[in-house]
Amino acid sequence: MAGKLLYIEVGDRLVKVMCAVPQKKGLRAIKSFMFQPPEGSVFDGVIQNPEELSEALVAQLLEHRLRGVKNVVFNLASGKVASREVKLPPVKEKLLAPMIATNAADYFPIDLSRYHISHTLLEKVKGEGGFCRVLALAAPLSLLEGYFKLGEFAGLKIKAIDSSANSHYRALRPLRQTGVTMYVDVECTESFASFIQDGRLLLQRTFALGGDEFIKSYMEKVEKPEEEYIEALSELSVSAKTTVMVGAEGQMTHHERTEELSRLVSNIARSVDYFNSSRWETATSQIVLTGPCGRLEGLKEMVAAETGLPTFYLEELEEVRSVFKTIEDPSAFLGCVGAAHSPVDLLPEHFMRASRGMRLSKNETSIASGLISFSLLFLGAVVLSIIAVSSNHEVKRELSAIRSEISEIEYTQQVALSYESYQQGETALLEMRALADSPNAKLAAFFEELEQKMPSKILILSAVCSAEGVTMNITVPSYAETAVVLDQLRTFESISKLEVLSVSQSTNEGGSETSTFSVSCLYGENPYLNGENPYADLIGESTDSEGQVD
């Protein structure tokens, strides 16, 4: 089956399989289906029993007449895959991988020897101050190993392994909705939210809640066995064609639906609040539900009521039919669809070598003993005649390979220089921020002078500080002390203007007098220190051409 590929997403409750042919302008889907994995064979996307799961997969491929398709792309739907968006200098895309590898320890504080690091370019911002928005990914090697074993046991050749963080974005990117759209892929045991505006990914969030609680509660109520999970999901879902429930109407009360879906809806609402809290100028404008559990009865209405936002099913968007032309149920198979478009490199080289070695070993053992003997005799007869030529060719190939490697690593110098320049720029910005002038610096200078020049008997009752100055209420023993304090304030280097707001005098029970006054001090350079009087115009002073005061 030339040109056909299998796109498979393994989940705890459902395994999704789509057979399609990649094309220049999209994807031509041939067939898609879901089945339940054997109990206990998968947990959080980790394949714990690859041999048992492979038997179920092969049986399903045979049933759907797809056993002849050998090439496969897996899509990882697991919370164990860590992702982080980073900004890098605006370099060529081929230079991003070494930069990610160099800084991986900063992005992911984990034992990197147990993880495979990859990335995908989200956006390249051009112009002055340009940068690259990159999604860095870290997948446990133990997680990836399970998929290689599954491929081996099922007789499949792995062409790529993608992550749902990338595949969902790639699938939804062509949908250009007005404003910011929150796409919520509701799976069975988890949900995945992507905030996208005009094809640009703004934020992704995962929460460990899906439709499983609702489905399990319903199965328990109607006494359905575990192997009828997909049937129960279908009965609880609103039909994409008729917009009514398929077969469970009346089985779950409104109160029961609300109770079972409330935690999921609450997580969706909190994700909206989290996004809007830091992006109030581009807040979420609508919500689109996708995934196999996105059409659960009552979910759409509950999300709309909780968030106050227009809420739709994916199939209700006008662009869906033109974007997903041949795909029967794009909502349920969104991860499989996206894995066909620019999958990330989650293929550890040593796993690939081991996989090739295992396939080679199987082929060798299938050769008949007579053919092996004949081949050995034939090789023995011709080896002496070609050894000289082959040696010469081998030397040339090695020389060519060395030159090619030298050429390929020449760019590392440019990478190092670009990264060093980027770090220096960042350091300079941090230093400038630290040196930036602030009201606190002026306030500190003012209080230093206050401690040095004020008399010991001064009592500052209150002080109101702002970016422009300080207003204080001060008490001193007498009017004379008031004059002394005001004279001293006029000598402050940190004050440009002084204004007395009020002055009062009082006598306590012991007969002691006190003077209380309010004064406003404005930060700046003191004009008195330069021989200037800022109030000269008010008292009628003028200076003639000889510098004499009238």
- Residue burial 460-484, b: 16+ Cβ < 10 Å; e: rest: eeeeeeeeebbbbbbbbeeeebbee
pLDDT for position 393 = 61
182 touches 172 (CB < 8 A): no
In CATH, the number for domain 439-539 is 3.30.1660.10
pLDDT in tens, 435-468: 555 556 677 778 888 888 887 778 888 888 887 8
pLDDT score of 468: 82
Question: What whole-number distance in Å separates Cα of residue 69 and Cα of residue 370?
Answer: 31
For residue 117 the two structure tokens come to: 């690091």
CA distance 313 to 331: 9
Instruction: Print burial letters for 408-420: b (CB count within 10 Å at least 16), e (below 16).
Output: eeeeeeebeebbe
Residue 115 CB contacts under 8 Å (≥ 6 apart), including other chains:
82, 108, 138, 139, 140, 141
Q: What does the pLDDT look like over 322-346, one tens digit per residue?
A: 888 888 899 999 999 999 888 888 8
Are the C-beta atoms of 236 and 249 separated by less than 8 Å? no
Residues in Cβ contact with 340 at an 8 Å cutoff, skipping those fewer than 6 apart = 5, 7, 20, 22, 27, 73
Under CATH, to which class is 178-318 assigned? Answer: alpha beta
Looking at residue 135, the DSSP 8-state letter turns out to be E
Q: Who contacts 348 (Cβ-Cβ below 8 Å, separation ≥6)?
A: 116, 141, 144
Residue 550: its pLDDT value, please?
40
pLDDT 10s digits, 244-270:
454 555 577 888 888 999 999 999 999
pLDDT for the residue numbered 22: 87
* Confidence at residue 379, expressed as pLDDT on a 0 to 100 scale: 59
In 3D, which of 163, 161, 29, 141 has the Cα closest to residue 84? Answer: 163
Q: Quick check: 522 and 468 in contact, CB under 8 A? A: yes
Looking at residue 362, its pLDDT comes to 46
Q: What's the pLDDT tens digit per position in 25-82?
A: 778 899 999 999 999 999 988 999 999 999 999 999 999 999 999 999 999 998 889 9
DSSP state at residue 298? T
Token pair of 26 as six digits: 């999209």
Alpha-carbon 20 to chain mean position: 29
Give the separation between CA 366 and CA 155, rounded to whole angstroms: 15
Name the β-bridge partners of 200. Answer: 197
Best CA proximity match to 172, nearest among 308, 55, 84, 288: 288
Q: Which residues of the chain, if any, have pLDDT below 50?
A: 242-244, 246, 358-371, 373-374, 384, 388, 542-550
Distance, CA of 203 to CA of 275 (rounded, Å): 8
Its pTM surpasses 0.75: no
CA distance 469 to 447: 12
DSSP H or E run through 295 = none
Question: Which pLDDT score, from 0 to 100, does residue 370 have?
Answer: 47
Q: Give the domain ranges of the chain.
A: 178-318, 368-434, 439-539
Residue 232 to residue 228: CA distance in whole angstroms: 6
Q: What is the 3-state secondary structure (H, E, C) of 364-395?
A: HHCCCHHHHHHHHHHHHHHHHHHHHHHHHHHH
Torsion of CA 480, 482, 488, 492, to 10 degrees: -170
Q: What does the pLDDT read at residue 244?
A: 44
Q: Which residues have CB under 8 Å from 453's CB, separation 6+?
A: 488, 491, 492
Rounded distance, CA 40 to CA 59, Å? 18
